Structure 1
Amino acid sequence: MNRDGRLGVGIVGAGRVGPVLGAALAGAGHALVGITSGSDRERVEAILPDVPVLDAPEVVRRSELVVLAVPTAELPGLVRGLAETGAWQPGQLVLHTDPASGVGILSDAAARGAIPLAIHPAIAFTGTSMDLRQLHGAFAAVTAPGPVLPIAQALAVEMGCEPVVIAEEDRVAYAEGIATATTFSREIVRQSTGLLSRAGVPEPGLYLSSLVHSTIDHALAGSRAARDAEPPSES
C-alpha cells in the first residue's frame, strides 16, 4: 500500500458487480490497474473508461488489492488456478464478493501470503453507474481474520456502504436470507403484474410501484419494532 493509503486495484470479473465496485473504489481515490474481459465490453467501458483489459494472472500481478467478482461456482477454481501459476503475492489484499462464502474459500491465496477478505454489498446490481448511488447508504456483509477486519470494514465504507460483520460460520445463513428476499420479491412482483395485466390494468409495474414500496417499508418497520421490543438476552 502506498503511504497515502492509495491502492492499485485489479478487478477479476467483468459482470455486474466487479466494474461497479471498481468505480466505487476509484471514486474513493484508489487506482484501477486492470480488469478482465467480459461479454459486454461497452457497458464496462461506460463505467470504467480507459482501464486496461488484461488476463487474470496479469491483473493479479499488477494489483495491491484484487477484487474477485465472479459466480460462486467459479470462485474456488479461480483462486486455486491463480495459486498454481504463482500469481498471488505476500501482503496482497484479495477480496471476494460471494455472499455465501467467508475467507476460507481464499485459503489457496492466503497460503501464499495474500490477505483474505469477504465483502458482499447488499444491493441488486445492474452493472451500471446507477449502482453507485445504490451503494451509498447500503449495508455490506464483511468477513475477515480479526487482525485485518478493520481493513475490510474500511474498504466497505470506501465503497459507500455501512459494514456489518458476519462470522465465517454464518455466511451460509446470511446468503439464504439475501436469496430469499431477492428471489421472492422478484417472483411476487412478476406474478402480480401478470395478474393485473390480465385484468386490463395498463402499465401494471407502474401501478404497483407505490403499493410494493410502501408494503416493504411497513414490513421493514415492523421488523425493526419487533427486534427493539425483544427482551435483552441474559449473559
Structure 2
Amino acid sequence: MGRGAVSDRLRVGIIGAGRVGPVIGAALAGAGHAIVGITGGSDDDRTAAILPGVPTRDPQDVVRESQLVVIAVPHDQLEGLVAGLAELGAWQPGQLVLHTDPWFGTDVLAPAMSRGAIPLAIHPAIAFTGTSIDLRTLVGAYAAVTAPTPVLPIAQALAVELGCEPVVVAEAHRAAYAEGIATATDFSRSIIRQATDLLRSAGVTEPGRYLAALMHTTVDHALVEAGTDSVRPPAE
C-alpha cells in the first residue's frame, strides 16, 4: 500500500467527543470512510454539527462496529481506556486502532495488540478548535506517525487522508516530540496573554488584532533563523 490513500473504505468509530475526535472523523468521512459511531461528550451539539447523523454509542459498541477505531481522549485517560476495553473483550483481530496523543507511540495500545488489533499513533500538529475550521487547517499541516514497520504505510496513508504530511517519529522519540510541541504551544499562549494584557493597559482596545501580523511575521523570522522554512500558508 502506498502513502497516497487507504485502499479500502473503512467503518470508522470515534472514541472521544472533545475538540479532536469529531474533526478527525469528519476528515476521514471526507476521504470516503463511513463514520459508524462516536462516544458522547460535554458538547454533543457541536459534535452533531461537524458529524451530522452519526449516532452516539458506548465505547465498547463503537469498537465492535468499527474496522478503524480512533481514540482521541485526554492524555491521562488513554492507557486505562485501552486496557478497560481489552478486559471487556471489545478489541478484534485485524482491527486498526489509532490514537492522537502526542506523548505516546504504540506501546500504550499493547492491550489491544494482544487481542490482534493493529496499533497506529497519529498526531496532527495543529491547535484544534473542534469546528470545521480545523478541516482547512489540517490541509498542509504535518502529522507525527508512529507504527510498527509493516503497517507504517497505513499510518502514513491515513495521515495523508486527513490532509497532512506524515512525518515518522520513532517510538523512543515520542516523549521528546511531545515536549517540543508542548513547549511551542504553551509558551506561545503564555507570551500572547502577557503581551495582550500589557497592550490593553497601554490603551490598545483590540490587542489581539494588533498583535496578529506582528506575531505571524515574528514566528516566520524565527523559523528562518532556526534553519526551517516557514510553512504558514499565504493569506487568502
Fold conserved between structures, TM > 0.5: yes
TM alignment of 1:59-70, pairs within 5 A: 59-70=62-73
* Residues 206 and 67 of structure 1: CA distance in aligned 2, closer, same or farther (over 3 Å): same
**Distance (whole Å) between structure 2 residues aligned to residue 41 and residue 84 of structure 1:** 28
**Distance (whole Å) between structure 2 residues aligned to residue 151 and residue 206 of structure 1:** 41
Letter in structure 2 aligned against 1:203? E
Letter in structure 2 aligned against 1:218? H
Letter in structure 1 aligned against 2:35? L
Instruction: Tell me, yes or no, if structure 1 residue 211 matches structure 2 residue 214.
Output: yes
Q: Which residue is 1:182 aligned to?
A: 185
Deviation track 1:107-135 (CA, whole Å, cap 9, x = no partner) reads 00000000000000000000000000000
Letter in structure 2 aligned against 1:71? P
Determine helix, strand or coil for the equivalent of 2:227: helix
Deviation, 1:223, is 1.6
Determine helix, strand or coil for the equivalent of 1:224: coil
Deviation, 1:18, is 0.3
Q: Which runs of 4+ in 1 moved over 4 A?
A: none
1:29 maps to which of 29, 32, 43: 32
**Distance (whole Å) between structure 1 residues aligned to residue 163 and residue 131 of structure 2:** 16
Q: Which residue is 1:169 aligned to?
A: 172
Instruction: Give % identity.
Output: 71
2:100 maps to which of 91, 97, 100: 97
* Unaligned 5+ runs, structure 2: 1-5, 230-236
Deviation, 1:222, is 1.6
**Distance (whole Å) between structure 1 residues aligned to residue 123 and residue 227 of structure 2:** 22
1:47 maps to which of 45, 50, 65: 50
**Distance (whole Å) between structure 1 residues aligned to residue 30 and residue 96 of structure 2:** 19
Letter in structure 1 aligned against 2:202? A
Deviation, 1:225, is 5.6
2:82 maps to which of 79, 82, 87: 79
- TM-score calculated relative to the size of structure 1: 0.94
Instruction: Give the aligned length.
Output: 224
* Residues 225 and 30 of structure 1: CA distance in aligned 2, closer, same or farther (over 3 Å): closer
Q: Which residue is 1:233 aligned to?
A: none
Letter in structure 2 aligned against 1:146? T
Question: What value does the CA root-mean-square deviation take over the aligned residues?
Answer: 1.2
Q: Which residue is 1:112 aligned to?
A: 115
**Distance (whole Å) between structure 1 residues aligned to residue 210 and residue 88 of structure 2:** 54
**Distance (whole Å) between structure 2 residues aligned to residue 118 and residue 221 of structure 1:** 29
- Bigger relative contact order (CA 8 A; separation at least 6): 2
Instruction: Tell me, yes or no, if structure 1 residue 88 matches structure 2 residue 91.
Output: yes
* Residues 101 and 132 of structure 1: CA distance in aligned 2, closer, same or farther (over 3 Å): same
Instruction: Tell me, yes or no, if structure 1 residue 20 matches structure 2 residue 40.
Output: no
**Distance (whole Å) between structure 1 residues aligned to residue 132 and residue 110 of structure 2:** 32
Q: Which residue is 1:158 aligned to?
A: 161
* Unaligned 5+ runs, structure 1: 227-235
Deviation, 1:224, is 2.3
Q: Which residue is 2:203 aligned to?
A: 200
Determine helix, strand or coil for the equivalent of 1:15: coil
